[in-house]
Amino acid sequence: MSQYFNTVPKNCIPETSDNFVQNIKKCKESNFDRVLKEKWEEAQTKGVFRYKLNIQGTKVLDGKYQFIAQLNTDRGYNRRSPEDITSMTQFFNEKRFNFMQLTPAEQIMDLSNGDEEDIIAVNVSPIEYCHSLLLPQRYKRLPQVVTKHSLYKAIEIFSLSSSLYLRMTFNSLCAYASVNHLHWHLYYFNYRMLLEYTDLEEYIGPVQILRNYPAKGFCIKRSNVRDIDDLVVWAFLIINYLQQTQIAHNVYITRAKADSGEEYKDLRIYIWARKSTKGIKDTTILVPAACELFGHILVRAEETYRNLSEEYVAHTLIDITEEPFLLVLDGVRNLIQKQLMLPGL
């Protein structure tokens, strides 16, 4: 195995799966954060990436939603060509690019017990600092469909990290996923964002609704459930409903403010149903995937960046989420009601 590849240090692994708040209290940077940054930067120095991260511009768009736009032309023109996605039920295809083909230098962290089943690899076409891929159960060659195990591993990373700026995202098939092999994105985004603290509307059980925002969707907060296992159950309930009904979706996980006070003691999982998109995505234009729905607007063309407005972004987000959100609203409510009736809830 390459010199890049390290298991997570033992003193970096949490004693329980529910201590991400404790980590923030103890230190500003955990061992996990240090190892990830060191290995990611080493990979960049060694020329593992398709391009060296070079964000040419960052700006907050005028308006109430505080969208943050970033210009990264390399991401549009120098990345690997995305896969031709034609269906929500598309099978894993060994002949197309997949994460079994990664070089040893791209694999930087083992989150399992040394068997390399759950790993973190650098994203060779980064959008932001430490942009990496969580590859859960890589050897099973699973398509880009969320499993409970993968969701748990994504949330577990927040237990390992003490950074306020860590983000995790998932794009489903037909929601701008580029590779049909199960993966989550993670990166550090050192800006405070509206969806870390904005008010949510009560819905049913522990699930709330993001309604006063262009991209309407569902949200489950850590503070509204008993523990991490419960958080996974409720989030997966909604995600799996969208998967089974073949509705494209995006997921974004972020630290968040608690209901009272200024401290970031909470965790939010946002889930958006959205219009499907098929074919090979055009990476040179505005692509509204998980980051964009959250308010982190990735721009690949200078002209688009110069002319970008809150009005345009808001219209785009409304167009792709409002109709699917209304379509699934009753179905998700019925599903939650059935879950609440189960013994022990």
Q: Which residues are catalytic?
A: 183
Q: By three-state DSSP, how is residue 270 classified?
A: strand
Asked if 125 and 49 touch (Cβ cutoff 8 Å), the reply is: yes
Give the HSE-up count for residue 206: Cα atoms under 13 Å, Cβ half-sphere: 23
The backbone torsions φ and ψ at residue 31, rounded to the nearest 5 degrees and listed phi first, read -60, -40
Q: What is the DSSP letter of 195?
A: G
235 Cβ contact partners less than 8 Å away, ≥ 6 residues apart: 151, 220, 251, 269, 271
The backbone torsions φ and ψ at residue 298, rounded to the nearest 5 degrees and listed phi first, read -90, 120
Asked if 149 and 181 touch (Cβ cutoff 8 Å), the reply is: no
Residue recorded with tokens 């391009």: 51
DSSP for 211-235, please give it.
-SSSS-EEEEEGGGSSSHHHHHHHH
- Spatial distance between the Cα atoms of 299 and 55, rounded to a whole number of angstroms: 10
- CB-count exposure of residue 11 (10 Å: 0-12, 13-18, 19+): exposed
Asked if 6 and 109 touch (Cβ cutoff 8 Å), the reply is: yes
Asked if 311 and 214 touch (Cβ cutoff 8 Å), the reply is: no
- Spatial distance between the Cα atoms of 45 and 39, rounded to a whole number of angstroms: 10
